[in-house]
Amino acid sequence: MQIKGSTILITGASSGIGAACAAAAARAGARVVLLARTQPALEQLATQIHATGGSAYVYPVDLTDAAAVDATVARILAELGPPDIVISNAGSGRWLFVEETSATEAAELIAMPYLAAFYLTRALLPAMLQRRRGYFLFVNSPAALVAWPGATGYTAARWALRGFAEALRADLHSTGLRVATAIPGKVSSSYFTNNPGTEARAPGLARLLPTLTPEQAAARMLRAIARNEQLVVFPPALKLLYLIHRFAPGPVRWLAVATGTRRPKAW
């Protein structure tokens, strides 16, 4: 898909990878549509994009609210038309053992990112199918490839998002719409600050991977879109682990568990 001249809708656009994708896409000549809960942050980003000659539109919305998503998408379609590219980047959630996870938080983990991506895609699909052109990119986590201890609900939600992307690709076969998944390694952002204690639960295996900036992650994902890639795993060290896991999953799974966090001694 060509970035220049495209309309790119980005969720989780108020910070981190989403904001970096929006800024990079706007510099490349795209019209960016910014979705997130926090309107002031979206407005600030849009102002920065406008200051550099870019084009950005702000639509604050709670993506876990199906009715709100439907209403927001209706506005976007009426005001801007269907997007060419959709980057479902919104996601959240702490890394917890099952017994540490309340029922409420378990539901929240599924709602964001999986249901958020589902609601948005469902609302956009009719218009995009009618045009028979479009590209969906779902930003996921290494947890969607291999599980490690102490992040059970988070991992399940990420596998749900991965399954949705795979099923959607099958649904959209021969429609002209493409579906892709991006799995970056560790990215420096506010995620670990907003979820204290989470970083300490990363398996030791993760120390083999360099930490990326949001701008590096955004550049790689936009390149994947331009190339119509279906799966992009980066940086190279993570891609190597993924390839090893694909052909010899046992050793990678063992390392993820063996170097992962341990249950509190009370258990």
**Which residues form the catalytic set?**
154
Residue 150 DSSP code:
T
Taking each helix axis from N to C end, the angle separating 39-51 and 16-27, rounded to the nearest 10 degrees, works out to 30
**CA–CA gap between residue 145 and residue 230 (Å, rounded):** 15
**CA–CA gap between residue 117 and residue 142 (Å, rounded):** 18
**CA–CA gap between residue 196 and residue 211 (Å, rounded):** 18
State the CB neighbour count (10 A cutoff) for residue 57.
Answer: 18
Q: What angle do CA 157, 162, 166 make, to 5 degrees?
A: 145
Q: What angle do CA 193, 103, 142 make, to 5 degrees?
A: 45
